[in-house]
Amino acid sequence: MILDGFLREFKGSIFPVNPHDNSILGLKCYGRVTDIPAEVDMATIAVPAKYVPEVMEDCGKKGIKAAIIISGGFSEVGHPELEEQVREIAGRYGTAVIGPNCMGIFDSRSGVDTLFNPRYKMERPRKGGISFISQSGAVGSVVMDWAGAKRFGVSKFISYGNALNVDEVDLLRYLGNDKSTDVICMYIEGTRRGKELIKVAREVSRKKPIVAIKAGKTKEGAKAVSSHTGSLAGSTRVWEAAFKQAGIVEADGIEQMFNYARVFAEQPLPRGDKVGIITNGGGFGVLATDACVKNGLRVLPLSKKTAGEIQKSVPSYAVVKNPVDLVGDADVGRYEVAINSMMKDKAIDSLLCIVLFQTANIDSNVIEVISEASDRHKKPIVCCAAGGSYSELHMHLLEEAGVPTFESLKDAADALAALTYYEDFKRGTPQK
């Protein structure tokens, strides 16, 4: 599966190594790494753990300075001595190692793809600006699959497993300087270099957002961490304080991390915490207000100027406050006036636009209205489109137009709060 992944996208030379075959997938196969008659930049190793030291020796003799060890069976299952043997070999030859016990790397631009999940089971995402660092290959692969299915853009995915001599600190520093990465996501179970991690994260956060999941927060989860990658999970309170100090946006789970990443990738940062809400269903406006306030955001009354502009284009029974309820017979024209009026208002920092597509007068043209307003006004806008298959179709169309859209009001409010939290960090405002 790994070789097949390389053959699909990678344009460089590939040299399969297996002592039992003369050719694999149409490529000449070599008995040992040292038999390859060319310089080699990187080795991907997927052999039983007991053979990895021998392969690493050959890689060192060949002058290969980068290796990805997919193989498991090291410290995570009680064999630290085998891992130490590989570490010694890597140190002796100056080889940088991703892994062992990992899925390795996916790079949407170079075509490097060491992921062993077949493409018919796990989609590969299109090119984009989100990069993922994951101590767990399984967690990362689910996020990658979501990204591929939903057509969100990914730059790089790095599963680093047991972190032999390349860890989250090194990878964070690298992605912080990577021009094709706009947002960094991390799934982390533990670290051996806590102070360095926070120092580097704080430096990187000044340039681009970092969204992280910290696994092993419960006593039982911490034990599971130890058996998974051999890491120490550490104190939950210490990690939470460290994340705040470093400006890392913490996510509660995979889906929330995914939500935050795409909002950071697609929307500008707000200048403050004041949210405008538009809806065509009054109850949803009330729920949206609750969701925003619970996140520490402010839902303030509209200015007289903004309220006056909207009032001219809506019937007398519409509620022109904040939230603005365009009511159930709202059409695209009402949305256009309300959205543009509120986006121009300096007292509104971001907009939550709720569109209930079940109502009779709303059609697909509202997508263009929302997308154009987002591009024109340079303020963050997220949408909520709850409902069945018809609403889901339009939710995907909005996302394809670059407007993050959610089924859940809580998810939408959480995303706006994450943008505000990160902007506070960049401006030096104390983190809540």
pLDDT along the chain (432 residues), means of 10: 84 94 92 96 97 98 97 94 97 97 94 87 90 88 83 92 95 97 94 93 97 78 49 70 94 90 94 97 97 97 96 96 97 97 95 96 96 93 95 92 95 97 86 56
The predicted structure's pLDDT at residue 229: 47
- CATH homologous superfamily for the domain 102-266: Succinyl-CoA synthetase domains (3.40.50.261)
Domain definitions of the chain by residue range: 1-101, 102-266, 268-427
Identical topology for domains 1-101 and 102-266 = yes
134 CB-near residues (< 8 Å, 6+ apart): 140, 143, 157, 158, 159, 160, 186, 187
Rounded Cα distance, 51 and 41, in Å: 21
The predicted structure's pLDDT at residue 65: 97
- DSSP-H helix ranges across 41-150: 52-62, 80-93, 137-150
The predicted structure's pLDDT at residue 234: 56
- CA separation, residue 136 to residues 76, 259, 340 (Å): 12, 19, 43
The predicted structure's pLDDT at residue 364: 95
82 CB-near residues (< 8 Å, 6+ apart): 49, 50, 52, 53, 73, 74
What's the CATH code, domain 1-101? 3.40.50.720
- CATH homologous superfamily for the domain 268-427: Succinyl-CoA synthetase domains (3.40.50.261)
